[in-house]
Amino acid sequence: MRLAGRVAIVTGGGKGIGAEYSAGLAAEGAKVVVADIDANGAKEVASKIRSDSGEAIAVSVDISDPHSTDEMAKAALSSFGRIDILVNNASLMSALPRRSWYEIPVDEWDQVMAVNLRGMFLCCLAVYPSMKEQGSGKIINISSGRILDGLPNRLHYTTSKAGVVGFTRALAREVGDDNICVNAISPGFTQSETQVKTSSAQYMKAHIDRRCFKREQYPADLVGTVIFLSSPESDFMTGQLLNVDGGYSMH
């Protein structure tokens, strides 16, 4: 119960890896705001947390819309009175076809940036006043292991996730005086429900073969790192990128 009394917002928390983050934070005692553009998915995850004796609410949010992110923060404050943790997990990736960079439509490029970078920025803006007032906070931004190797065929996604790291480091400098920690995680290729649907067996095997640990990576493999960065155990860490990929990349 390392997070007892803490309040966490998880964007994209209604499905896939985000649902695992939500459940994991709740299991450590956090009150969780499950925020997702998929309102039904968010409700299902929040309901499951409550059935497991945790505390959670569901919020429908479009992170690319400033009004929507402000309403998300207001819902957290209205229900739980504070915001201690923000996990910027929501992103646009699995729906993107793998194709050469010169085949990416400009509007698709803009959509990826609007969600993956603008959305993260807006979510941080929404929670910052509360964290500043209480003199503490944890912001955890989800990047991707793709940036360490420059994996091809989703150039817009890779570019946006590299931007997450720059954003994390610069924001950590700006909010350090407010005692807010800002860190990032770069997951490896993870067996989420969406990845399984859009990836071939050959593609998945290639990732496993290069890892030190010759097995698939699951969402549960990432939860411990999120909990650590949310907890007092990481209070003197900020501006850092933690790579969790079974030894695929050495960073």
Q: Which stretch of DSSP H or E encloses residue 96? A: none
Catalytic residue, chosen from 21, 102, 128, 157, is: 157
- Terminal-to-terminal C-alpha distance of the chain: 30
Please provide the DSSP assignment of 103-147 as one string. Answer: GS-HHHHHHHHIIIIIHHHHHHHHHHHHHHHHT-EEEEEE--THH
| CA 43 to the chain's CA centroid | 18
Whose tokens are 């690319």? That residue is 64
Paired with 34 in beta bridges are: 10, 58
Is-catalytic flag, 157? yes
Burial level of 157, CB count in 10 A (0-12/13-18/19+)? Answer: buried
**Dist CA 106 CA 227 (whole Å):** 37
N residues, the chain: 251
**Residues belonging to the active site:** 157
